[in-house]
A = this chain, B = another copy of it.
Amino acid sequence: MRNVVLNLAVTLDGYIAGPNGEYDWCFTDADYGMTNFLKSVDATVMGGKSYRLMIHYGPPYPEFTNYVFSRTEKETPFKNVVFVPDNIPTFVKHLKQKSGKNIWLFGGSEIIHPLLQENLVDEMILSVHPILLGGGLPLFKKLAERKIFQLADTITYPTGLVQLIYKK
């Protein structure tokens, strides 16, 4: 079965972007394991906001099928973008059963939240940046119950970025 892997940058105070979507605080001086990670996935799942932010900067990852949960988006110039208006956890449950590489849970929190709630997030790679952003878009929302993870690895980089890798 394919794993759903959350992989993103987060601040010490738990934000994935600033109040206006800023991510200028993210370190870009090194690869931070991204090249290897990209080889391990062939699909992304994301929300409409993340999709619009992504295509603002360029076409979506061409080698992946990009599933975008959106009730409003209907048309796209990109052949590898699929809009999914349906129940997010049900769709991801089916996607996990199909053959393929891992699935990159791209964000944002409105997509991460229902998948965490339904225990559908198999792995979390959190790149903790040494900054308090002070406000913005939080990674985690409130959950109905506690979720315990297993620490799989920690990687410390010279910039002070710490990657915390957890498995379900």
Contact = CB atoms under 8 A, between A and B. Distances in A.
A149 to B, nearest CB: 5
A12 B140 contact: yes
Interface residues of A, number: 33
B130 A150 contact: yes
Interface stretch (A33-41, A100-108, A156-164): A156-164
A132 B149 contact: yes
A147 B160 contact: no
A53 to B, nearest CB: 20
A105 to B, nearest CB: 14
Given A13-B140, A140-B13, A166-B12, A131 B148 contact: yes
Contacts of A128: 164
A144 B132 CA distance: 11
Interface string A135-151: 10001101111111111
Contacts of A130: 148-151, 166
Interface of A: 12-14, 25, 116, 124, 126, 128, 130-135, 139-140, 142-151, 154, 156, 160-162, 164, 166
